[in-house]
Amino acid sequence: MEIQIDKDLSIDNRSSFFFKIGELLMVFLPAALLLSLTRSWAGEDPIKTQSLVWAAYAIMLIMIWVGLKLRGKSWGEFGLTFESLSFKKALNVFGLSLVVFVLGVAAFVLGSILMASFTGIPESADYSKYNFLKDNLGLLMLTLGGVYVVSSFGEEVVFRAFLINRISEFGTSSKYTTALAVVLSSLFFGLAHYEWGPMGMVQTGFMGLAMGICYIKLNKRLWILVLAHVYMDTLLLVQMYMASN
């Protein structure tokens, strides 16, 4: 009787493992295929490239939602709740988002310092894809709106909420698997910014590590990270706009 129970449990565990792998592929594979198949069409056009990246994130968000439905779960599993806040709670969220913003920027700068120290070359990240903002305030406003939805919100859902939670499910020790999930999610986050060059990948990887730690320490209150990411994206794009002019 014991042998039969163990056998059944092992079958359940295997099917659960394959479901988790399938869910990861379902989220990332279609987006990766879209970017790969349309790369020649976009060429060096920064607006086309940015549009495709936004489309890829939209696909990933839809697939994450499908995965939640298959699990019988809601966005609340990731700490993404849609409830009204009192003034006091809203002030608390805003204050914490500023703390996360400072930590994220500090980690970004730390990545720059370490990269320059190890390579001996104080290169900067490649922000050339934002050259289209030159002398175009209207396009800056439009880009900010899109970035808030796709990058500020989308990247936090994909790389913090989804990846950290799903990778954490693969281990038996919640403490160590969560730590590994935070590290791996920050690694993938850095690699996702490959167009920024080696320096940009290291910078965003360190920023992702800080954001991932904050996500866990703040009990997965994702909106705090989304707001902090909004501040970072605003700082980056306004800086790019000012520099281009």
79 band by pLDDT with thresholds 50, 70 and 90:
very high
Q: Maximum CA pair distance of the chain?
A: 76
The DSSP line for 105-152 is HHHHHHHHHHHHHHHS-------GGGGGGTT-HHHHHHHHHHHIIIII
Q: What is the pTM of this model?
A: 0.87
How far is 136 from 85, CA to CA, in rounded Å?
A: 36
Is a pLDDT exceeding 90 seen at residue 48? Answer: no
44 band by pLDDT with thresholds 50, 70 and 90:
confident
pLDDT in tens, 156-183: 999 999 999 999 998 766 778 999 999 9
Is a pLDDT exceeding 90 seen at residue 27? Answer: yes
The mean predicted confidence, pLDDT, of the chain is 87
pLDDT in tens, 185-197: 999 999 999 888 8
Is a pLDDT exceeding 80 seen at residue 128? Answer: no
Is a pLDDT exceeding 60 seen at residue 212? Answer: yes
Measured CA distances, 110 to 106, 131, 186, 202, 212 (Å): 6, 26, 14, 9, 16
14 band by pLDDT with thresholds 50, 70 and 90:
very low
Is a pLDDT exceeding 70 seen at residue 123? Answer: no
Is a pLDDT exceeding 90 seen at residue 85? Answer: no
Mean pLDDT of 46-57: 88
* Structure token pair of residue 163: 């990846």
Question: What is the number of other CB atoms lying within 10 angstroms of the CB of residue 209?
Answer: 21
